[in-house]
Amino acid sequence: MKSTQENTDEFTEKSLNPLEQTIKELKENNQKLWRQIQEQKAAENMLKKYEFIANSSKEFMTMIDRNYVYKAVNDAYCHAHNKKRSEFIGKTVPEVWGEEIFTTVLKDYLDQCFEGKEVRYQRWFNFTALGKRYFDVIYYPFYNNRAVTHTVVVTRDITDLKLMEERQRKLELELMKESRLSSIGLLAAGIAHNIRTPLTIIMGEASMIRKYRPEDETKKLIIKQAEKIDKILDTMMIKCRKGQESDATDLDLNELLTTELNFLETDHYFKHEIQKDYHFAESLPLIKGVYSDFSQGLVNIIQNAIDAMYKSDKKMLKVKTYFDNEKIGIDISDTGCGIRKENLLKLFSPFFTTKLYYTDKKTDSPRGTGLGLFSSYQILKPYGVTIDVDSEINKGTTFRLKIPANKNLQDESSEE
Ligand SMILES: Nc1ncnc2c1ncn2[C@@H]1O[C@H](COP(=O)(O)OP(=O)(O)OP(=O)(O)O)[C@@H](O)[C@H]1O
Ligand SMILES: [Mg+2]
């Protein structure tokens, strides 16, 4: 009996344990599940917050996977393109924007980003709902387990900033043009005028003496030299007068270059140290433009050519003009130091210079502020002028300008 009782107890204990065990496991599972639900709820809440942030942002945001399929787009992006979210999600970039724009523009940026590079560029875009706007676009690589699985593209509308910058740049340029013209031009015109008065007296007196003492050769020399100065002053006066003109007139670029190159002859170094090779087209169509725009634009380039030959054994300045039925071409070549490849892209940026600053008095090598080419380009851009540069280190450089013959002067800044 006892043993039976013991057996019964043993049975009860043994049979209850698995039950308790199961309950315990169930309880634990429940708690786990509850925690998971809580975590999921928190994640969903967080997701909602991020969604809210993304959708209330004015910046356009998209997420694209390695098959170029749109995985996410925010409200601003849909609004800008006047499309529903469903018109993007699950579709490929070429499906949405067309094969051509995908292969010629977008694919390269996306591929660079999938390689792990952050890509950034700025340009004008035409948007269905917003019209023409200027955007700052950044492609960010999105990593999952150390591999780039997506690209996140964030696009910021910086049209107002761009327009403000352009307005400021134009004002600065105007100011630069004005101040250079008024200070240098007026000063030179004043000097030329003031020199001419005593020069006339010297020439008159020398002629008188010569009349009475024709055997004295020195007077002949004085008159000849004075006539030379007189000619220089003529060039200077013409240049200054033309430089002060602010209205567009019919310009003959051959004539303009001749005046400007003649004027440079007043510089001793240019006159005596630089060999010249000028080939001007027999005739060029007239260009409607402001004289000083072209004189400044071209002289800045010529001055650089002169500076570049400062240390060269052979100093040869070539200027060639030609007409190819549509455009006037001007090539300005030198046998100077050349431009390093990595500097070619920086040439037209403001303040890019490899020269000494004006305050540096150590040597007499060329000085610069890095504004010459920047202003040349800005001044000539409205005329539709393009500038190409060929250069070889220690051999020389050629600046090739192409000027549309029939283009009306206009502001092209918003057509980039
Ligand atoms: N013909 C050239 N040969 C070699 N380098 C050139 C030539 N033209 C331009 N460069 C390079 O481009 C730089 C920028 O030229 P830019 O005319 O804008 O400025 P700068 O001549 O240095 O100064 P600034 O013209 O304001 O007096 C020069 O410092 C020089 O390094
Ligand atoms: Mg310069």
The tens digit of pLDDT for each residue in 365-407 reads 888 888 889 889 988 988 999 999 999 999 999 999 999 987 6
Q: Is 255's pLDDT higher than 90?
A: yes
pLDDT score for 234: 76
Correct CATH for 246-416 of 3.40.50.720, 3.30.930.10, 3.30.565.10, 3.30.160.620? 3.30.565.10
Comparing 120-134, 163-177, 291-305, 368-382, the range with the smallest average pLDDT is: 163-177
Gap between the Cα atoms of 182 and 184, Å rounded: 6
Query: Do the beta carbons of residue 230 and residue 195 sit within 8 Å?
Result: no
Going by alpha carbons, the residue nearest to atom 31 of ligand 1 is: 354
Question: Domain spanning 161-244: which CATH class is it, in words?
Answer: mainly alpha
| Distance from Cα 269 to the centre of ligand 1, integer Å | 18
Q: What is the mean pLDDT of residues 52-58?
A: 85
Longest dimension (CA), the chain: 170
Q: Which residues contact 327 (CB under 8 A, 6 or more apart)?
A: 402, 403, 404, 405
User: According to CATH, where is 3.30.565.10 located in the chain?
Assistant: 246-416
Whether pTM exceeds 0.95: no
The tens digit of pLDDT for each residue in 57-83 reads 889 999 999 999 999 999 999 988 889
pLDDT score for 165: 83
371 lines ligand 1 (CB under 6 A): yes
Give the pLDDT band (50/70/90) at residue 317: very high
74 lines ligand 1 (CB under 6 A): no
More confident residue, 189 or 149: 149
pLDDT score for 16: 60
Q: Which ligand is nearest to the CA of 366?
A: 1
| Distance from Cα 183 to the centre of ligand 1, integer Å | 23
pLDDT score for 399: 97
Give the pLDDT band (50/70/90) at residue 344: very high
306 lines ligand 1 (CB under 6 A): no
Q: Is 328's pLDDT higher than 70?
A: yes
More confident residue, 363 or 286: 286
pLDDT score for 12: 54
pLDDT score for 33: 92
Q: Is 313's pLDDT higher than 80?
A: yes
More confident residue, 231 or 140: 140
The CATH superfamily holding the domain 56-157 is PAS domain (3.30.450.20)
pLDDT score for 414: 40
Going by alpha carbons, the residue nearest to atom 5 of ligand 1 is: 339
Residue entry with tokens 């492609």: 139
| Distance from Cα 353 to the centre of ligand 2, integer Å | 8
User: Average pLDDT of the chain?
Assistant: 84
Give the pLDDT band (50/70/90) at residue 204: confident
pLDDT score for 5: 46
More confident residue, 169 or 289: 289
Q: Is 3's pLDDT higher than 80?
A: no
| Distance from Cα 281 to the centre of ligand 2, integer Å | 26
396 lines ligand 1 (CB under 6 A): no
Q: What is the DSSP string of 291-346?
A: HHHHHHHHHHHHHHHHHHTTT-SS-EEEEEEEE-SSEEEEEEEE-S----HHHHTT
Percent of the chain's residues with pLDDT above 90: 43
Q: What is the mean pLDDT of residues 202-208?
A: 79
Q: What is the mean pLDDT of residues 322-343?
A: 95
The tens digit of pLDDT for each residue in 265-312 reads 878 889 999 999 999 999 999 999 988 889 989 999 999 999 999 999
Give the pLDDT band (50/70/90) at residue 212: confident
Give the pLDDT band (50/70/90) at residue 412: very low
Angle between helices 217-244 and 253-264 (to 10 degrees): 130
**C-beta atoms surrounding 41 within 10 Å:** 10
Q: What is the mean pLDDT of residues 210-227?
A: 75
Query: Do the beta carbons of residue 116 and residue 110 sit within 8 Å?
Result: no
pLDDT score for 180: 58
Phi, psi of 172 (to 5 degrees): -60, -40
The tens digit of pLDDT for each residue in 4-20 reads 444 445 555 555 677 88
Give CB contacts under 8 A, 24+ apart, made by 49-58: 58/157
Percent of the chain's residues with pLDDT above 70: 87
User: According to CATH, where is 3.30.450.20 located in the chain?
Assistant: 56-157
How far, in Å, are 46, 87, 89, 407 from residue 50 at the CA level?
6, 22, 18, 52
Q: Nearest-CA neighbor of 254 among 199, 218, 298, 210?
A: 298
Query: Do the beta carbons of residue 407 and residue 289 sit within 8 Å?
Result: no
| Distance from Cα 304 to the centre of ligand 1, integer Å | 5
Q: Is 2's pLDDT higher than 50?
A: no
Comparing 148-152, 192-196, 363-367, 368-372, the range with the smallest average pLDDT is: 192-196
More confident residue, 287 or 207: 287
